[in-house]
Structure 1
């Protein structure tokens, strides 16, 4: 019976060579001639080592896990299409993508990427197709020159071709995140191996097995495809990688790359841990969010600092000696801090967009923005700003305010859509350089100061 080994969004696994070695060791221990090793995007970036190596550190891991197939995530274009083409050309696996188009509108990297593929495994013909979030050009400025066709139509066409070719199983490698439900409804697939959203998923939707292993290489799913002739459907088993045997060759290769990056300068000492788990970063005000927003505001002498929660990457807490590499790992993107000029009315709209219900990304309970220079009271019941002060004064809708934020926020319409490219007023240094400079001068504080207050019924109370 054919099997699939599924991983996705492994992102910063490369920055911890031992953890990467355990991830690879887990995959290798599960692998065999009856298995296909499949990634579903964001397998080359982001991360500290990814930024330094422009994604090419992933080649070490692809070789170590003997990867068979992958598709593209939005972060696989972090260093531009040419860098992606280079990684793809040198990868051992087959890249499948039915909806990514190059700068001229043709198939992306057609010499190395196919819209769908068929592989015979353990006596069965397995058909695979890949699709990527069509919002990628908005989510990732480095992919702005590419286009992404409708993933549902592209997948449905590819699956029809695979079924016509007589495959026994159809597997979709998806980097659509929340779009996987629609994919299951519209496409006749046996399994959807998903990614993009970093929470785990294991359920059946319209009789299709839909999986997501979460982020950073902590989990691998093993899928038994079943036997269509006997009516046995696909099933999945979850494997944690933390206690897996270490793939020593991969660990040594990545350790050498980390040492060569020379990012070990200590810029501050954190006396208490700054947690950056998903629960903390998306839960409201937190120390690491305050640190980033404060650094932005300081670097541009702005009225307000703003950091989107999704830009702060999960990882170990900052504690003790904090190095440049640690700060790169917090925001591992080669983007500038910029200044946007907003009216007070626009700023109030942006503050409202800190709530997930008004932002096109994430879970319904997530808090999407971290602030500096602002005292905000938010009503969780009414979903509205109760009060907002900048510099101690209530926000004047007719005044002009400067907001230091990432270039990404001006580019995307999926987070903080009120801020647009037309608001750009100035450009500063790369984000992690700003964090390092701020840490050298002011250190890294582990506390919060109540600048964001979320409470039910706040409007009634006030």
Structure 2
């Protein structure tokens, strides 16, 4: 019976060669003539090695597992379309994308990228197509020159062509995240292999099986089916998988060779940077980054978006430049924005997922320096906001130091826009490294963000 091996959102796992070696081992040990290895985006970037290799470090993984089919995630354009084209041309798998186009409207990276493909495995003809979040240009400025058409219209066209070609099963490779539900309702597919949102998922919507293995290579899904009948799914942890030593050897040593091994500080109490901590409210790693931004541009407020802090091992012991790059592995600059107090209050409100409708319910999107806010989760209401200890004056003008991405994107903190820009500093991780050299790393949870519900008065700040 045909099997699909599904992985997604590898992101910065390449920075830990043994971890990516176990991911490769998990996929390789289950691969075979009756299997297709399928990736659903963000498998080339971000990360330290991704910055060094411009995403090409992913080729070591793709070749090691004999990858079959892949679609694009927003981070697969981190180094611009030309770098992505180069990776596609060198990769062993077929890249499918039904809704990514060049600026002139033609299909992106044709003929190397196709809207859909048919593979016959175990006597079953499987049609596969790919779709990517159309908001990618807002999420990733480096994709700004590309065009992303409506993914549902593109999916419908792809499915019609595949059904006409006489396939037995149709599989969507999706980097739509929360858009997978609409895809299931609108398009006749058997399985949606998803990505983009980092939370695992395994459920049915409109009789379609929806899967997401989560981020950072912790797990893969194995899907088994026949021409018709039930579809079986197994989840496999990668932590105990055999290590692909060839992948480890290929990746190990590249960070040191790039000169990023300088120790800039020591951490006695590890700083957790897991998604649960970073998206849960105030945390030490968020405070550290926001403090560095505010210090670097002498701003009233420092702001770091939660999604910009990447999941990975805690910072502990000797902390190198590479460790700090892995926290915020983007070539975005820290910028100074100027806005009114009324606008700043809206920015504070937009820290709540309930306000911006982005990410998972309950996520907290902002980390601040120089400010204290009190928020009612139940009422989705800003109860109090202070800067420098004083209540925010709606008519006063304030400066905010944040990443250039925040001004570009309309998905997080949409109040902050390019028109607010009034200055520019260094690259994010360079700022963080310089701050660590100057002040060390001694971040603490201080009650900057207090999330309450109704009459509750306790904070939801992390105790890590």
Confirm whether residue 419 of structure 1 aligns to residue 416 of structure 2.
yes
Partner of 2:235: 238
Correspondence 1:52-71 to 2 at 5 A: 52-71=52-71
CA distance in 2, matches of 1:386, 1:458: 12
Deviation at 1:296, TM superposition (A): 0.2
Would the aligned equivalents of 2:262 and 2:320 in 1 still touch at CA under 8 Å? yes
Deviation at 1:221, TM superposition (A): 0.5
Partner of 2:245: 248
CA distance in 2, matches of 1:225, 1:144: 39
CA distance in 2, matches of 1:173, 1:460: 45
Deviation at 1:458, TM superposition (A): 5.9
CA distance in 2, matches of 1:238, 1:26: 11
Correspondence 1:107-122 to 2 at 5 A: 107-122=107-122
Would the aligned equivalents of 1:360 and 1:415 in 2 still touch at CA under 8 Å? no
Partner-residue secondary structure (3-state), 2:296: helix
Correspondence 1:207-218 to 2 at 5 A: 207-218=207-218
Partner of 2:86: 86
The one of 338, 341, 344 aligned to 1:341: 338
Confirm whether residue 8 of structure 1 aligns to residue 8 of structure 2.
yes
Give deviations 1:240-292, integer Å, cap 9, x for gaps.
00111110111000003233222110000111011111111011100000000
Partner-residue secondary structure (3-state), 1:437: helix
The one of 310, 319, 342 aligned to 1:313: 310
CA distance in 1, matches of 2:321, 2:25: 29
Would the aligned equivalents of 1:341 and 1:400 in 2 still touch at CA under 8 Å? yes
Partner of 1:194: 194
CA distance in 2, matches of 1:257, 1:460: 49
Confirm whether residue 205 of structure 1 aligns to residue 205 of structure 2.
yes
Correspondence 1:393-412 to 2 at 5 A: 393-412=390-409
Partner-residue secondary structure (3-state), 2:295: helix
Give deviations 1:46-66, integer Å, cap 9, x for gaps.
111101110000011100110
- TM-score scaled by length of structure 2: 0.97
Relative distance call for 1:160 and 1:273 in structure 2 (3 A) is same
Would the aligned equivalents of 2:38 and 2:69 in 1 still touch at CA under 8 Å? yes
Deviation at 1:379, TM superposition (A): 1.5
Would the aligned equivalents of 1:282 and 1:367 in 2 still touch at CA under 8 Å? yes
CA distance in 2, matches of 1:97, 1:59: 19
Relative distance call for 1:214 and 1:459 in structure 2 (3 A) is closer
RMSD: 1.2
Would the aligned equivalents of 1:198 and 1:215 in 2 still touch at CA under 8 Å? yes
Correspondence 1:53-452 to 2 at 5 A: 53-228=53-228, 232-452=229-449
- TM-score scaled by length of structure 1: 0.98
Deviation at 1:451, TM superposition (A): 1.1
The total of aligned residue pairs comes to 458
Would the aligned equivalents of 1:209 and 1:235 in 2 still touch at CA under 8 Å? no
CA distance in 2, matches of 1:135, 1:225: 33
Give deviations 1:77-97, integer Å, cap 9, x for gaps.
000001101101110000000
Partner-residue secondary structure (3-state), 2:395: coil
Partner-residue secondary structure (3-state), 1:363: coil
Give deviations 1:208-238, integer Å, cap 9, x for gaps.
111000001110100002331xxx2222100
- Structure 1: 5+ residue runs without aligned partners? none
CA distance in 1, matches of 2:434, 2:102: 38
Deviation at 1:104, TM superposition (A): 1.5
